[in-house]
Chain A
């Protein structure tokens, strides 16, 4: 199993540009999450999904959108990128079968200038 994969690893965006961060998992987990990690601020939940077609906002959803059309994929869309969105983004997945242990992807380092 590849586990949780994320692309790209790094990206530099100009202010106002848009992009989609990709996340995929091959463990058949029903829960998937997007976090951002800012220095000294820990992890903040952006959006999560409890299954295909079901998503909900986390702590810091503004400026982001998600969709979950399949169990495997959970892309995060940034519209009109702003410098405040400079961060490291982590995708994670979990399921009741694993006792809700979260499996994390390697992260995407995004810089908005």
Chain B
């Protein structure tokens, strides 16, 4: 079974402070991990994925297989970063199909 855990429902930080949104996963194979973002009243959209190892809007995330984590980080939070962030894992299920599991999401609130 695959599982994604986001331990914080709400994370409040001051503008300019560092941000770390935690994500831990459970999966027996090689996972593909993603971070999605949902701004207020907008659809979910991909923020970044581990396989591309890129930085989007100043955010980065490193896959740590030893700790089974994929934490999302940004050195200096901005007000426009306030949104809902979802960690997601894509892996093959027992039927050989790709299955995606989302965490419950973390609401990031950046205080001016």
A contacts, CB < 8 Å to B: 31, 33, 35, 40-43, 45, 48, 50, 56, 90, 92, 94, 96, 99-102, 104-107
Contact = CB atoms under 8 A, between A and B. Distances in A.
Nearest to B46: A101
Contact of A50 (B88, B97, B103, B105): B97
Contact of A90 (B43, B46, B49, B100): B43
B102 A43 contact: yes
Given A42-B86, A99-B51, A104 B98 contact: no
Interface residues of B, number: 24
B104 A107 contact: no
A99 B45 contact: no
Interface in B6-55: 6, 9, 32, 34, 36, 43-46, 49, 51
Contacts, number: 51
Q: Tell me what chain A mostly uses at the interface: helix, strand, loop, or mixed.
A: strand
A101 B34 contact: yes
Contacts of A33: 100
A42 B43 contact: no
A40 B9 contact: yes
Q: Tell me what chain B mostly uses at the interface: helix, strand, loop, or mixed.
A: strand
B97 A43 contact: no
B98 A100 contact: yes
A25 B75 CA distance: 37
A90 B104 contact: no
24 contacts: A31-B98, A33-B100, A40-B9, A42-B6, A42-B86, A42-B104, A43-B105, A48-B99, A50-B97, A56-B97, A90-B43, A92-B44, A94-B98, A94-B100, A96-B98, A99-B49, A100-B98, A102-B34, A102-B44, A102-B46, A102-B88, A104-B44, A105-B43, A106-B43
A61 to B, nearest CB: 14
Q: Which 3 residue pairs are nearest across A and B when measured between Cβ atoms?
A: A42-B104, A42-B105, A104-B44
Given A50-B98, A90-B44, A102-B46, 8 more contacts: A33-B100, A42-B102, A42-B105, A45-B102, A100-B98, A102-B36, A104-B44, A107-B43
